[in-house]
Amino acid sequence: GIKGNVFTYNARIQVALASSTTEAYDSVQGHLSKAEKEAIKLIDELISDPTLQPDRYTINLALIPFLHAQRRDEIWHLLEKFYHSNMSSNNVKIITSGFEAFLNTLVKHGEVDFAREIFESFLLPEPMRKIRVIESKPKQRMQLSNEVKVMKLEATSYSTKDQQQQPPYGALKRPSPSTRHFNILLGGYSKSYQSALLRSKNAIFQDVNGTSNKNTLNF
């Protein structure tokens, strides 16, 4: 048969993930959906072919299936290879647009903490990476509120002067995070905070309602 290229594989992976199926990813048991299994099979084929190179579209399609399959280390490997190969070619725009897509995909699927890890690892200059004050742990309401404040502070403090002073990558300047990168993360944490707040309100309502019903029965 005719050998496919990276564009062919990307199209097939996208079709596989978009295929209609009643089976979805089981977040409790960790069972992959049929669509994710098929997509991972195609991604593995592409990666194992020495004549093909996964591009930013491949990586973006692989993010969620690989996370669900507990293959986080392989995601890091793909991201590092993508970053370094484009840095050596001085394709800064491809890097920034690629990571914008990656962050957006992760946040869309509720993987906000992992999105921030990636953001800090590849887009923040070294001095700012050392100001991490909140670790990637399950967030309570106050923690999430603080996280949004910290992200806003970082976005504000990252001025043009900071960007000019960052150390170069070899002879090349390290890609700078854009406002869009910060806004994606801010939106993700804000959404998570609102969801946590709603869950807390529902839990309080159920507790109050349950206590009220119990008192009525006892009466």
Q: How far apart are CA 77 and CA 56, in angstroms?
A: 13
DSSP 90: T
pLDDT in tens, 16-66: 999 855 555 555 556 799 999 999 999 999 999 999 999 999 999 999 999
Which residues 6+ apart lie within 8 Å of 98 measured at CB?
A: 56, 59, 60, 82, 86
pLDDT in tens, 70-129: 999 999 999 999 999 999 888 999 999 999 999 999 999 999 999 999 999 998 876 455
Q: What is the pLDDT of residue 194?
A: 73
26: phi then psi, degrees, rounded to nearest 5: -95, 100
In terms of Cβ atoms closer than 10 Å to its own Cβ (0-12, 13-18, 19+), residue 181 is buried
Q: Which helix (H) or strand (E) holds 172?
A: strand 172-173
Per-residue pLDDT band at 192 (split at 50, 70, 90): confident
